[in-house]
Chain A
Amino acid sequence: MLIHDAFKTATRSLAHSKMRSILTMLGIVTGIASVIIIMSLGDSAKLYIVGQIQSMAPNMINVQPGAPVMGGAPSSVMGITIKTLKARDVEALEREPSITNVSPNVTGSSRIVYGNKSKSTLWVATTANIFKMTNLNFASGYGFTKADETAYKHVVVLGSKLAKDLFGSNVEPVGKTVRFENITFSVIGVLEPKGSGMFSMDEYALIPISVGQKQIRGIDYYQELNVQIDPAYDTAFVKTRMISILRASHQITDPTKDDFMVTSMDETLNMLGNIMSIFTIFLAAIASISLIVGGIGIMNIMLVSVTERTREIGLRKAVGATERDILEQFLIESVLLTMVGGLIGIAFGAVIVGAIYFVLSTFFSIGWIFAFPISAVLLALFVSTLSGLAFGIYPARQAARKNPIDSLRYE
């Protein structure tokens, strides 16, 4: 049978039972639409989050104390305090020409008090460099300076949410004083809100490194270093430079004995991206269960159709159709059903994804990114076609193997 005739025969018999064909397709339509929606939204979320982080901390490389653990958490997370990152490391890194800024920090949590209001918060003691490095803007006031650090000035910069929680929206925080860790701090600046990204400082209190490290904690090491690199240099190059600087500073010759871990923002972003992709794939896999249900629906209807058309099959065989002709005819029918279902599902998914984009960007003014990955579309088409073949083969074989004599007698 010519392929053109096979298609004509198949479309004609599907068109004869329009309602049934549409209902049968619904399963595939829903399945494909949900896979498309999940994959698109996953991509959008990934782009959005990665974009947010990137905008806050470009060209950053992070140094954590403790040996690098492959695939595990840094030692600080495990509750082990490692005291190897010190002032000489910061000085050594600052001498490196490919590095523009180094910002060490020490953190602690405390209850911060203003008047009769108080709030449990995380304070970050750091250097003035942090304001240059992380694109932090001030809603009011200004940041502390290097002079404030050396003078042990009791000044604090508040995150936007923290400021609002303590002062409300009618009081200007700059010029007021707050108290935590038994020290009275003057508020010199309030940061602009940054949203709920990973590097958001909205709920933090920033104080000079000297006050946090020496006066409050009484330690001579840092908990973390953040390094900003000269964009003219390659991140990977700077990373290797940093590793050798830190090894020299720590007098380490055997690389397996490193007592620090250097992670570039690129790597973090990649890792985050990978985690999000895995998550998306996982969700899409769950959504594709509905495709199996849809496929079973197709198989069911095709079996009914084969039984109903027993006489037709018998006649076609009597006038010269081979088993292969019959098999092809029914397979084309089921693949057409799932392919058209897949296309409708893709279109439907696109509409939903577009609607979500519209709602988020118009009504919630979120800088949502419209993503409709071509890979998802191709995958959807492939999967829907494949499900037509997989779930159509059994009914089609049943049809092809029918005995023409019995089929012609079938009532």
Chain B
Amino acid sequence: MIEVYDLQKEYVEEETPTRALRGVSFTIGKGEFISIMGPSGSGKSTLLHILSFLDRPTSGSYKFQGKSIDDMTDQELAKVRNKDMGFVFQSFNLLSRLTVYDNVEIPLLYSNILPAKRRTFVEEAVKSVGLEDKLHIEAGKLSGGQKQRVAIARALVTDPNIVFADEPTGNLDSASGLQIMEILASLNDRGRTVILVTHETQTAEFANRIIRMKDGTIESDQAITTNRVRSNLK
């Protein structure tokens, strides 16, 4: 599903170039649950941004579902982000004055799906995170955990193949965090690829593969065959 080879990313900040990625290569198959770990400054966020098309690498190749992103225009990238990718952020990024329904509907607004169909999709997505009773409540009035569940519903509403989660539990208490991770794990169980960025080992261990980054390179890339956390849950 994802093939990257020798990804490099350089920023110029206040005239000093920073090499955020110094040659990163790996492949991610369909249905994997990957955690990208590492201390701050290790390049894990930069990598996630490139993988999710929010940023382009300075050099190196990136093939998404067999297609090189070098051959895609910004508009095509936006279309893929809309159809095939879901996003969950640390700070939720909900529009607090809109209702849960309207927040979840946002990605559909950019997909040219007719309003009648959108209603079903939104309701299904909200139901899948267990917030169907909060559908018409303003997002700003929800608790942190509920907000993140709305964000997950928003990520799911277009039925994407892959979900990117950037520190999704970072702003939550441990009980809510656990709930979020359970939802992400269940998404993976139903065949979606999940790529998670975190610095918490406990959160990372929900995955079946952990990529550890340091100074812009991959320090280790290990598969977890017997998933302790997930078997505990079951």
Task: Supply 16 further A-B pairs (C-beta < 8 A) apart from A1-B109, A16-B97, A320-B110.
Answer: A2-B112, A12-B98, A312-B95, A315-B93, A316-B110, A318-B52, A318-B81, A319-B87, A319-B106, A321-B78, A322-B78, A322-B110, A405-B49, A405-B54, A408-B89, A408-B93
Among B49, B55, B154, contact of A319 (Cβ-Cβ < 8 Å): B154
Interface residues on B, range: 20 to 34
Do B93 and A317 touch (CB < 8 A)? no
Q: Does any Cβ of B come within 8 Å of A254's Cβ?
A: no
Where the two chains meet, the residues of B that have a C-beta atom closer than 8 Å to any C-beta of A are: 49, 52, 54-55, 74-75, 78-79, 81-83, 87, 89, 93, 95, 97-98, 106-107, 109-112, 115, 154, 158
Interface CB pairs A-B, < 8 A, 6: A2-B109, A16-B97, A320-B79, A324-B75, A405-B55, A408-B89
Among B82, B93, B98, B115, contact of A320 (Cβ-Cβ < 8 Å): B82
A5 neighbours in B (Cβ, 8 Å) = 109, 115
A322 to B98, CA, bound (A): 21
A63 to B61, CA, bound (A): 90
Q: Does any Cβ of B come within 8 Å of A266's Cβ?
A: no
A319 to B49, CA, bound (A): 13
Q: Does any Cβ of B come within 8 Å of A192's Cβ?
A: no
Measured CB to CB, the nearest residue on chain B to A5 is B109
Do B74 and A325 touch (CB < 8 A)? no
> Which residues of A274-292 have CB atoms within 8 Å of chain B's CB atoms?
none
Given contacts A16-B97, A322-B78, A404-B54, contact A315 B112 (CB under 8 A): no
Among A1, A316, A318, contact of B54 (Cβ-Cβ < 8 Å): A318
Where the two chains meet, the residues of A that have a C-beta atom closer than 8 Å to any C-beta of B are: 1-2, 4-5, 9, 12, 16, 311-312, 314-325, 404-405, 408
Do B111 and A320 touch (CB < 8 A)? yes
A315 to B158, CA, bound (A): 15
A404 neighbours in B (Cβ, 8 Å) = 54
Given contacts A405-B49, A405-B55, contact A316 B78 (CB under 8 A): no
A43 → chain B closest CB, angstroms: 46
A9 neighbours in B (Cβ, 8 Å) = 109
A316 neighbours in B (Cβ, 8 Å) = 106, 110
Do B93 and A323 touch (CB < 8 A)? no
A312 neighbours in B (Cβ, 8 Å) = 95
B74 neighbours in A (Cβ, 8 Å) = 322-323
A259 to B115, CA, bound (A): 79
A5 to B74, CA, bound (A): 22
Do B106 and A315 touch (CB < 8 A)? yes
